[in-house]
């Protein structure tokens, strides 16, 4: 068994044990990835994925559980999505860790190996993209600009506004466009695709070349999942539960 496989096996075992106790303790758990740590190579390297998921994301999950009172809510994807709107009003810890958990959970499932699911948006999403940005390339250019323009740490987002049109924005730190009451201007929208612009997401491979990381991201976007996020949830004003399948019902993280 390779080092990468052993690492994946360990996190799978830990995840299974935590999930088994989830219902009893009402805690959020670290979701397993729907692919191996090295599956996104050469675009995103295995070491970054292992540290990003197993260390950084795990810390957000632990921080969120510590910040929420016992019995505060269920530990499923729907509950995590629902928490986002009120997270800023629940204190800095819930805002940072709750946002960090949601953002990363959505980030993982919106990616897939370059040889995996469809490399193009569905007809429905493609039409919305063309209507707003003129073309898929036009959307990618605007999104990449948002990711590059976010000073310091944060995220770039593609989402659906209340009027049903698509929009692009960026947020600081672990904020996202679902959050209400942020102290800076963020266009209200339901995010369907997000890109982590924190240095820990790319520095091992790309160092200070964020532009190269942003370009590489487009080679691993899972358009099947993003399209489903749009068609099943965001198009109808519903926050996306960050699950691998993006099915019609939420599953436990």
91-108 residue pLDDT tens: 999 999 999 999 999 999
- Whether 97 has a binding-site annotation, put simply, is no
Q: Is the pLDDT of residue 7 over 80?
A: no
What's the whole-number mean pLDDT along residues 210-221? 97
Per-residue pLDDT at 3: 46
Rounded Cα gap, residues 15 and 31, in angstroms = 7
224-242 residue pLDDT tens: 999 999 999 999 999 999 9
Q: pLDDT band for position 76 (50/70/90)?
A: confident
Topology at the third CATH level for domain 123-236? minor pseudopilin epsh fold (3.55.40)
Q: Is the pLDDT of residue 19 over 60?
A: no
- Whether 9 has a binding-site annotation, put simply, is no
- Whether 26 has a binding-site annotation, put simply, is no
Q: pLDDT band for position 119 (50/70/90)?
A: confident
- Whether 249 has a binding-site annotation, put simply, is no
**pTM, 2 dp:** 0.86
25-65 residue pLDDT tens: 578 999 999 999 999 999 999 999 999 999 999 999 999 99
| Annotated domain spans of the chain | 3-109, 123-236
Domain 3-109: assigned CATH number: 1.10.287.990
Cis peptide, bond prior to residue 42, ω within 30 of zero: yes
């Amino acid at each position: 068994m390779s080092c990468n496989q052993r690492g994946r096996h360990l996190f799978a075992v830990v995840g299974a044990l935590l999930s088994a106790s989830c219902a009893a303790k009402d805690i959020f758990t670290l979701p397993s990835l729907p692919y191996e740590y090295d599956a996104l190579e050469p675009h995103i390297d295995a070491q970054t994925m292992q540290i990003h998921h197993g260390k950084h994301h795990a810390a957000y999950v632990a921080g969120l559980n510590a910040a929420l009172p016992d019995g505060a809510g269920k530990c499923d994807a729907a509950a995590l999505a629902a928490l986002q709107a009120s997270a800023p009003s629940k204190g800095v810890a819930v805002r940072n860790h709750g946002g960090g958990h949601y953002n990363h959970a959505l980030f993982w499932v919106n990616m897939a190996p370059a040889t995996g699911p469809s490399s193009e948006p569905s007809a429905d999403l493609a039409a919305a993209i063309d209507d707003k940005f003129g073309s898929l390339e036009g959307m990618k250019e605007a999104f990449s600009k948002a990711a590059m323009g976010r000073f310091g740490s944060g995220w770039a987002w593609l989402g659906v506004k209340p009027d049903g049109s698509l929009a692009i924005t960026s947020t600081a730190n672990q904020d996202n466009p679902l959050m209400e009451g942020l102290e800076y201007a963020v266009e209200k929208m339901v995010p369907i695709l997000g890109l982590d612009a924190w240095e820990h997401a790319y520095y091992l491979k790309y160092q200070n070349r964020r532009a190269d990381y942003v370009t590489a991201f487009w080679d691993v976007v899972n358009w099947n999942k993003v399209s489903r996020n749009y068609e099943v949830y965001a198009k109808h004003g519903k926050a996306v539960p960050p699950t691998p399948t993006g099915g019609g019902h939420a599953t436990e993280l």
